[in-house]
Structure 1
């Protein structure tokens, strides 16, 4: 699977990388009015400390011991085999 994230340039530039993350389609619902939205979340089971270090620190767990999940921004793309 390849994930591509939009970069902050005045024209379309994407940073793409391969990943072994597990992907899930989830439905998010607003607490106030019940508005729903579909989103993709990626869960990294073997995430190294790197950019996830603040997450591990907040959760109080050692790097690589639990999956780290995050939502993909609207401008991201995923390429995978069917």
Structure 2
């Protein structure tokens, strides 16, 4: 039981910190991590870049493209 509780605690701790994820709200700043990730991809000099978003990620992707000069050749947007 202790081992199971420890795993659950670690899982909750990771989820609260947002490990490997983006957390955002509609505050005109939350799209900046998405724009930063897009800029890193552009530095790789790919022939074309496809970007995808789900739910609020669509909004953050569109804001990044609208407010920061980032390139996206293809967008795939999916709403719930």
How would you bin the TM-score normalised by the shorter chain? under 0.3
Instruction: Give the structure, 1 or 2, with the largest relative contact order (CA under 8 Å, sep 6 or more).
Output: 1
Name the one with the larger helix percent: 2
TM-score by length of 2: 0.18
- Greater radius of gyration (CA): 2
Name the one with the larger strand percent: 1
